[in-house]
Structure 1
């Protein structure tokens, strides 16, 4: 192909492979603009110079006229690039006053996410994009706000409060664990809510190439293509997928991981077991709907009388005070369905032998990634089961592994294996029902 490939290698240090390849873009012409605006004047506020220069360049390329924030010329749109500090009580009041005094729509480019930041009222219409956003998302927002016919008088309220309770919505669940998919779908059962499930990122992409949904619940730690990679691939498919709310669903998340996932394109994070109130909040926040889940499906998080159960930390003695099996709690976690709770618990018990075998092997080889994979899988499987002792131990172990690695986990592993053995003894009791 007319290129060159080179290799540099040094024993004990590693190898670098590099190549050059002469290539031309399609017909060697510049990519056409994604949008052609009717020469609007756009007032721009962005304190970060690199971001401001990029926005000015794009707006000019799309046939708009960007002007400075303090320019007296009348504008058809105000773009505000706001940092997290701009949403403090004092600054929030300042920006709300400016927006109230602005006679045109306002597009807010916010550093943060919708759960962390208070809302701003947009009396003349507008929208909020949360950084980082894609070029396609920006184009879609400008079309809605500036092109006649692209949006039918969409105010800030109508932009954010999408379908009402009588309209049908479609949700996509992406999770490699069949039990988790089934249980989450059961929790979301509603006559006006259609739920589709797939078991991998690859299946999610195949689905998304021909269909759109209103929201995605995305498992993060999946084999092959993980949840972050799947989300980024979905975002590139179309402008519709670029704007679709995608919520991370995981059995374990550190604060640093949560921020990283939000920066990589996810809209928020739900921790298993999913609390019904959180699910209500997500549907209301991202889809503008309420009362989709029945009150009988109360799904509280793991609760016991032990203080250590609320704050697992690194202690491995507290779980001994927790029951091995709690079917009442399992039923609550299964959306009020006792039969489903028993099935979930049976599946968990049946998976314990394989999990223990792989965990012992990985620890013997000091293979942290493999050990984490199996511990995380067990953690996810135990999130919706009435097995509080095991659930707390495996959560504590995963936290220890993700924060300090393989140091000082031997006793936690042994405690976990003993809890797994105690749980196995309950299998015959479950079969009687």
Structure 2
């Protein structure tokens, strides 16, 4: 199939053993080729090949080793779309647009616009991801529920989906399975779970149920660039020298909550891809949502309703992970872990700390608006 496509696009494929002075090497590697002696062997082949290399990886895991491409190279994880392959070939060989659908010479734009569908019931999370992703080459479609994502999919196609897992009504797993059943295009579309909290057993279950990978909020710019490269073949843009590293170090606070500030605008700006104004807006939205969240959490705990309590705690966890609110982020993450592993036992003290942190954060609203 791959050889047939390449011939249609004007290439002349040759076998690995007959290689000479080719313009591109394509390696289709299995999981075993990414480990130990096999990885060392293929790396030596790449080092001795004086042309760009595409690795077609039979895996969707993000836990892959790094590869050195002396003459340029990219990696695509299976299943990949024809558009992904065309985009990658064009980038590595600097080709003119390649015909996709027929033998006729029909020239698509030099940089075809790809569509990413974001499904999340939290409006702040949707808008932030949109702001971080949207560009001349990426068109972002927003869906506030699994059902809304399904309605879009019945009439249109996306190149990738970022799917929140815990949504009311149709959750992310159900929505993914429904999307896969629509047609072959949706069956092959990369669908990535996005969540603020996941246990290791849940991760494996989600992958078995049709998702291609799992991302934990907050998703920073470096993660998004890696995601676009792996699944869409889009070369990562240059990040600011310290942006990626400092974001990684500051995403998940490890200090005791009492020593963490209620507001950290530098952290918020990094989580918002360097957009300080957007970071402030996210914080204000979070603060404005706190009274309802606190009341619903109190009511659910008083009623002994673990499901409702988890829903509200998880929603607050997701919202706070994208903001520069480190104290609240750590407390609500700790609380959700405790609830999912131990239920309603031994959480009263954590809840009291959470309410106090919410109060401290709310007191910062006026100063944020005036800055």
Does the alignment pair 1:412 with 2:350?
yes
Aligned mates of 1:251, 1:385 — CA distance in 2: 13
Does the alignment pair 1:403 with 2:341?
yes
Compute the displacement of 1:295 (Å): 4.1
Residue 269 of structure 1 aligns to a residue in which SS? strand
Change (3 A) 1:91 1:342: closer
Q: Is contact 1:163-1:287 (8 Å) kept?
A: no
Larger RCO (CA within 8 A; separation ≥ 6)? 2
Does the alignment pair 1:89 with 2:36?
yes
Of 315, 318, 324, which aligns to 1:380? 318
Aligned mates of 2:138, 2:151 — CA distance in 1: 21
Change (3 A) 1:113 1:224: same
Q: Is contact 1:187-1:297 (8 Å) kept?
A: no
Of 126, 129, 141, which aligns to 1:196? 141
Does the alignment pair 1:115 with 2:62?
yes
Q: Is contact 1:160-1:286 (8 Å) kept?
A: no
Does the alignment pair 1:391 with 2:329?
yes
Compute the displacement of 1:158 (Å): 4.0
Aligned mates of 1:341, 1:280 — CA distance in 2: 20
Compute the displacement of 1:88 (Å): 4.7
Compute the displacement of 1:167 (Å): 2.8
Does the alignment pair 1:267 with 2:205?
no
Of 309, 320, 338, which aligns to 2:253? 309
Segments of 5+ residues of structure 2 without an aligned counterpart are 1-27, 44-55, 68-75, 92-109
Match of 1:242 in 2: 187
Change (3 A) 1:422 1:243: same
Kindly report the root-mean-square deviation, in angstroms, between the aligned alpha carbons of the 2 structures: 3.4
Change (3 A) 1:222 1:247: same
Aligned mates of 2:369, 2:77 — CA distance in 1: 53
Aligned mates of 1:230, 1:411 — CA distance in 2: 36
Aligned mates of 2:303, 2:119 — CA distance in 1: 31
Compute the displacement of 1:218 (Å): 0.7
After superposition, the C-alpha distances for 1:311-339 in whole angstroms (9 at most, x for unaligned) are x8xxxxx1100011111211221222222
Residue 60 of structure 2 aligns to a residue in which SS? coil
Mapping 1:132-147, distance limit 5 Å: none
After superposition, the C-alpha distances for 1:14-62 in whole angstroms (9 at most, x for unaligned) are xxxxxxxxxxxxxxxxxxxxxxxxxxxxxxxxxxxxxxxxxxxxxxxxx
Mapping 1:324-403, distance limit 5 Å: 324-403=262-341
Of 113, 119, 122, which aligns to 1:174? 119
Residue 221 of structure 1 aligns to a residue in which SS? coil
Compute the displacement of 1:309 (Å): 2.9
Change (3 A) 1:114 1:364: same
Compute the displacement of 1:115 (Å): 2.7
How does the TM-score come out when normalised to structure 2?
0.73
Aligned mates of 2:208, 2:319 — CA distance in 1: 27
Match of 2:200 in 1: 255
Aligned mates of 2:253, 2:140 — CA distance in 1: 33
Segments of 5+ residues of structure 1 without an aligned counterpart are 1-79, 97-107, 121-126, 131-140, 145-150, 313-317
Compute the displacement of 1:85 (Å): 6.8
Match of 2:96 in 1: none
Compute the displacement of 1:189 (Å): 2.4
Q: Is contact 2:77-2:230 (8 Å) kept?
A: no
Residue 190 of structure 1 aligns to a residue in which SS? coil
Change (3 A) 1:189 1:163: farther
Change (3 A) 1:304 1:208: closer
Change (3 A) 1:364 1:85: farther
In the alignment of these two chains, the number of paired residues is: 305
Change (3 A) 1:325 1:128: closer
Compute the displacement of 1:89 (Å): 3.1
After superposition, the C-alpha distances for 1:76-109 in whole angstroms (9 at most, x for unaligned) are xxxx9x7x7786536779999xxxxxxxxxxx99
Residue 309 of structure 1 aligns to a residue in which SS? coil
How does the TM-score come out when normalised to structure 1?
0.63
Higher helix share: 2
Aligned mates of 1:163, 1:389 — CA distance in 2: 46
Q: Which protein is bigger by CA-based radius of gyration?
A: 1
